[in-house]
C-alpha cells in the first residue's frame, strides 16, 4: 500500500479539457491503493497538468503522487478510510475555479467561527458535493468504525471559505473545497439541490420538455425562452418550468431523492423520482415569497378578495353576467380595472384569461358554494406568478363602493340583467326620455301602478305587473352595459337587455 501523501483534485468536466479551460476543485490529500486507477505521466505542470490529463481521459478525480512525480486518474473519489489524517503544509495549493482565476483554497484554522447550513454523513467527497447547494466541506479526519470504508462529516456553507498561506490541515480541522457548478443560462442560479414534487400535481405547472441529453443549462435555456423564472429537472430527462411553486410544493420541503444523473451529463444530478433539482432566474424572482410559492398582489383602491375567494360557477349560466372580458395578457389588476370601469362591484377571474363582472351572483352561484384554493390555481395569462381562477371556478373580488343600492325608491329591488324578448318582456306601458335615470323609471312605473320596471338601451323605461311574451327573470344577459342617458354613473340596460327592478320582491344572492 502506498502511504505517502498525494494531492487529490476533482475535475469538473468530462472529455477533452485543456489546462487553460478546465475548472478544478481542490479536495485534499489521500492515500491511494496500488493498482487503483490509471497512471498518466504528465510531468510538465504537476497539479494543473495532472487534472487536465485526467479530464481529457474521461476521469473525475486526479491524484498527484508528488514523490514519484506521477499522475493517477480514477473515476471515484477516496473513501473516508483512505484519507490522510494529517496534511503537510505544502498540500495547501491554489485551485483554478470556474472563472479560471487562481484562488487559495486550503485548510482554515478558524472554521469553528463559520456555521454550516446543514451537516450530513457521506462516504465519498462527490456525495458531499451533490448534497450541498452552495459550498461543501468534509472533515479531515475519517471516521472508520465497523465499516472499513469509513465516513465523512459533510458540512454545507452559504459562502466560500478560503484558507491562508502557511497553514497546515491538522487533526480535527475541516477543509472546504469549491464546487464547480455546471453551466447555467446567464442570470440563472441553483436554488435547491432537491425539493419534493407537489402533492396534488406538478410543483411547476408551466411549460415542460423531455430530452435524452438533458442538462441543467438545457433546462434553464428552455424555461428562459418560455418566459418562466423557475426551472426544475427531474427523473434524469425531464424539465419543468413555472412562475411559482404550486400544489403544496415549497423550498422548505426538501428531499433526499435527487440521486439520478442527468441524461446529458453523467457528472451532474438531475432530480429523481418525484424530486426536483431547482433553479431560478435571479432578477425575476425578487418579488416572490421566500419559499417561491406566491407573489404579493397590490389590488386597485377599494378592492379586496371576496369573503369566499374561490367559488363554483353558476349551474345554469354565468355567476357574473353583466360584463365580460377575455385577454391573452389577463392579470388580476386588468380584470378589476375593467369591472370598475363598468361600475360593477364583483369581479371574477376564470380559466387564466377570462374576467366577469356583476353586482350579484346569479344562476345558482353563491358565496356559500366555496371551493378549495387549489381549484383557483391557474396562472394568469398575463402574469404566471399570480392565479386567475380555474376551470368552472371563479377567483372572486369585491368593491362594495360600487354596489348598486338593493332598495331604490320606496321598495324596488334589483333583479338582475335579463334578455329582452320579441313583443317586449314588459309590455304594459313605456316611456323614452333623454334624461332617464333609474329613479325616473321606477317613479314612472310605480306611479302607473306596476310592480316591474325595466330599463333598456340607456333611455327606455318599460313597466308591467308580470314578465310577458315568454320572458323570464332567470334568462340572464351580460349586455346590460349602457350608462343611463340622465346619469352616466348608473346602468340602464343595453341592446336587447333589461336592467330589471321589482317592487316588494326580494331575491337572495
- Render pLDDT for 203-230 as a digit per residue (tens, 0 to 9): 998 899 999 999 999 999 999 998 889 9
- Is-contact 260 235, C-beta < 8 A? yes
Q: How many CA atoms lie within 13 A of 430 on its CB side?
A: 15
- Is-contact 6 50, C-beta < 8 A? no
From residue 119, alpha-carbon distances to 138, 154, 509 in Å are 9, 5, 58
Q: Indicate whether 9 pLDDT > 50.
A: no
The mean per-residue pLDDT over the stretch 82-90 comes to 39
- Is-contact 244 387, C-beta < 8 A? no
What contacts 466, CB < 8 A, 6 or more positions away?
Answer: 451, 452
pLDDT band at 491 (very low <50, low <70, confident <90, very high): confident
**What whole-number distance in Å separates Cα of residue 412 and Cα of residue 221?**
61
416: left (phi over 0), alpha (psi -120 to 50) or beta: left
> How much is the pLDDT for 61?
67
Q: Indicate whether 78 pLDDT > 50.
A: yes
**What whole-number distance in Å separates Cα of residue 233 and Cα of residue 170?**
40
Q: Is 167 helix (H, G, I), strand (E, B) or coil?
A: coil
> How much is the pLDDT for 96?
24
> How much is the pLDDT for 84?
43
The better pLDDT of the pair 24, 51 is held by 51
Average pLDDT taken over every residue of the chain: 76
Element (DSSP H or E) covering residue 265: strand 265-269
- Render pLDDT for 105-114 as a digit per residue (tens, 0 to 9): 334 444 455 6
**What whole-number distance in Å separates Cα of residue 478 and Cα of residue 318?**
9
pLDDT band at 104 (very low <50, low <70, confident <90, very high): very low
Amino acid at each position: 500500500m502506498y502511504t505517502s501523501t498525494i494531492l487529490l483534485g476533482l475535475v469538473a468536466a468530462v472529455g477533452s479539457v485543456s489546462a487553460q479551460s478546465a475548472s478544478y476543485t481542490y479536495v485534499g490529500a489521500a492515500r491511494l491503493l496500488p493498482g487503483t486507477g490509471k497512471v498518466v505521466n504528465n510531468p510538465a505542470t504537476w497539479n494543473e497538468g495532472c487534472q487536465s490529463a485526467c479530464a481529457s481521459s474521461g476521469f473525475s478525480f486526479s491524484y498527484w503522487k508528488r514523490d514519484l512525480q506521477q499522475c493517477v486518474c480514477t473515476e471515484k473519489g477516496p473513501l473516508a478510510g483512505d484519507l490522510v489524517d494529517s496534511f503537510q503544509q505544502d498540500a495547501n495549493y491554489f485551485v483554478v475555479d470556474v472563472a479560471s482565476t487562481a484562488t487559495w483554497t486550503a485548510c482554515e484554522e478558524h472554521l469553528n467561527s463559520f456555521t454550516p447550513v446543514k451537516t450530513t454523513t457521506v462516504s465519498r467527497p462527490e456525495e458531499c458535493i451533490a448534497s450541498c447547494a452552495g459550498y461543501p466541506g468534509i472533515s479531515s479526519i475519517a471516521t472508520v468504525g465497523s465499516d472499513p470504508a469509513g465516513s465523512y462529516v459533510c458540512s454545507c456553507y452559504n459562502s466560500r471559505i478560503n484558507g491562508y498561506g502557511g497553514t497546515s490541515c491538522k487533526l480535527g480541522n475541516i477543509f472546504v473545497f469549491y464546487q464547480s457548478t455546471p453551466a447555467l443560462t446567464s442570470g440563472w442560479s441553483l436554488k435547491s439541490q432537491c425539493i419534493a414534487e407537489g402533492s396534488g400535481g406538478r410543483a411547476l405547472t408551466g411549460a415542460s420538455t423531455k430530452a435524452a441529453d438533458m442538462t441543467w443549462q438545457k433546462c434553464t435555456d428552455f424555461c428562459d425562452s418560455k418566459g418562466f423564472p423557475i426551472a426544475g429537472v427531474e427523473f434524469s430527462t425531464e424539465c419543468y418550468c413555472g412562475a411559482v411553486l404550486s400544489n403544496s410544493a415549497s423550498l422548505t420541503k426538501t428531499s433526499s431523492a435527487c440521486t439520478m444523473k442527468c441524461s446529458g451529463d453523467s457528472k451532474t444530478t438531475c432530480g429523481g423520482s418525484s424530486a426536483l433539482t431547482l433553479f431560478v432566474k435571479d432578477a425575476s424572482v425578487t418579488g416572490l415569497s421566500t419559499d417561491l410559492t406566491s407573489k404579493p398582489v397590490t389590488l386597485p383602491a377599494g378592492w379586496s378578495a371576496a369573503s369566499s375567494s374561490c367559488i363554483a360557477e353558476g349551474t345554469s349560466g354565468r355567476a357574473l353576467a353583466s360584463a365580460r372580458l377575455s385577454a391573452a395578457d389577463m392579470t388580476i389588476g386588468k380584470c378589476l380595472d375593467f369591472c370598475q370601469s363598468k361600475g360593477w362591484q364583483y369581479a371574477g377571474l376564470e380559466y387564466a384569461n377570462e374576467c366577469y363582472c356583476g353586482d350579484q351572483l346569479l344562476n345558482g352561484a353563491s358565496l356559500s358554494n366555496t371551493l378549495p384554493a387549489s381549484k383557483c390555481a391557474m396562472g394568469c395569462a398575463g402574469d404566471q406568478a399570480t392565479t386567475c381562477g380555474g376551470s368552472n371556478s371563479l377567483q372572486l373580488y369585491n368593491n362594495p363602493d360600487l354596489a348598486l343600492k338593493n332598495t331604490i325608491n320606496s321598495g324596488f329591488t334589483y333583479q338582475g340583467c335579463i334578455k329582452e324578448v320579441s313583443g317586449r318582456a314588459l309590455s304594459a306601458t313605456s316611456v323614452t326620455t333623454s334624461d332617464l335615470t333609474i329613479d325616473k323609471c321606477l317613479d314612472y312605473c310605480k306611479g302607473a301602478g306596476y310592480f316591474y320596471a325595466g330599463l333598456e338601451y340607456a333611455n327606455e323605461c318599460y313597466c308591467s305587473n308580470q314578465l310577458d311574451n315568454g320572458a323570464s327573470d332567470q334568462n340572464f344577459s351580460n349586455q346590460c352595459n349602457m350608462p343611463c342617458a340622465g346619469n352616466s354613473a348608473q346602468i340602464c340596460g343595453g341592446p336587447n337587455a333589461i336592467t330589471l327592478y321589482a317592487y316588494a320582491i326580494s331575491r337572495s344572492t
